[in-house]
A = this chain, B = another copy of it.
Amino acid sequence: MILKSQVEWALHCCAILAGLPEGRYLSTKALAELHGLPKEYLSKALQSLSQASLVETTLGPSGGYRLAKTPSDINFLEIVEAVEGKARSFTCTNIRANNPCRPQGYCDSKPCAVARIMWEADEAWRDTLRRVRLSDLVGTLSEEVPADIWRSTFEWVLKRAG
C-alpha cells in the first residue's frame, strides 16, 4: 500500500499556491521547475486538483493555477483524495461467502467484521488528514524554512506569477 508520488507533488504545489497574492496565477511550468518535476506529468496532478475544485485555472500567457479557497478552508484530505481517489484502502472481496458450509443462497445482513475493523482504521487515517489545514502547513513551513530561502523562493514565484 503506497501512495502515488503525485500526492506529494500536489501538497507541495498547494503550499506554494497558498503564498500567491490575490488574483495571480502560477503556471505548471513554474511549479514543475521549482520542484524539479516532469512538467507534463505534474500537469495530470494539477488537473486532478482542478476537477476537485481545489484550484482555479485560466488559459493563455500569464495563465496557470491559483487556489479556489482560502488555505484555511482546504484540508489535507481534500488534496490527497483529489489525486489518490476516495476509495477505501481495504476492499472486502467477501470471501466468507465461499464457505462451503453455508446454505445455498444465504445472504449476509451486515458488512463483515473484518472489513468494519479495516474501514475504521482507514477512517482514522482520513480523520487525521481532515484535521490538518493547508494553512497549518504553510505556518509550519514559514517557521522551519530558513528565512532567506523562504523569501527568495517567494520572489522567484512572484516573478513568474501571471
A89: B residues at CB distance < 8 A: 1-3, 89
Whether A90 contacts B8 in the complex (CB less than 8 A), given A36-B95, A99-B35, comes out as yes
B-contact bits for A39-75, CB 8 A (1 contact / 0 none): 0000000000000000000000000000000000000
**Contacts of A126 on B, CB cut-off 8 Å?**
121
**Complex partner residue of A7 from B4, B90, B144, CB under 8 angstroms:** B90
Give chain B residues whose Cβ lies under 8 Å from the Cβ of A93. 5, 8
A39 to B12, CA, bound (A): 44
Question: Complex: how many Å from CA A137 to CA B149?
Answer: 52
**Distance of A100 Cα from B32 Cα, bound (Å):** 11
A sample of 15 more A-B contacts (CB under 8 A), given A11-B118, A76-B118, A121-B126, is: A1-B1, A1-B3, A2-B91, A7-B90, A7-B118, A8-B92, A9-B95, A11-B114, A15-B114, A34-B98, A101-B152, A106-B149, A113-B137, A121-B125, A121-B129
Residues of B within 8 A of A1 (CB): 1-4, 84, 89
Task: Tell me whether A3 and B113 are in contact (CB under 8 A).
Answer: no
CB pair B8–A95 under 8 Å, yes or no, is: yes
Minimum CB distance partner of A87 in chain B: B2
**Which of A102, A106, A117 has the most chain B CB atoms inside 10 A of its CB?**
A117
The 22 listed contacts between A and B (C-beta, < 8 Å) are A1-B3, A3-B90, A3-B91, A7-B118, A8-B92, A8-B93, A34-B98, A35-B96, A35-B98, A37-B98, A99-B149, A101-B152, A113-B137, A113-B140, A113-B144, A117-B129, A117-B137, A120-B128, A121-B125, A124-B124, A124-B125, A124-B127
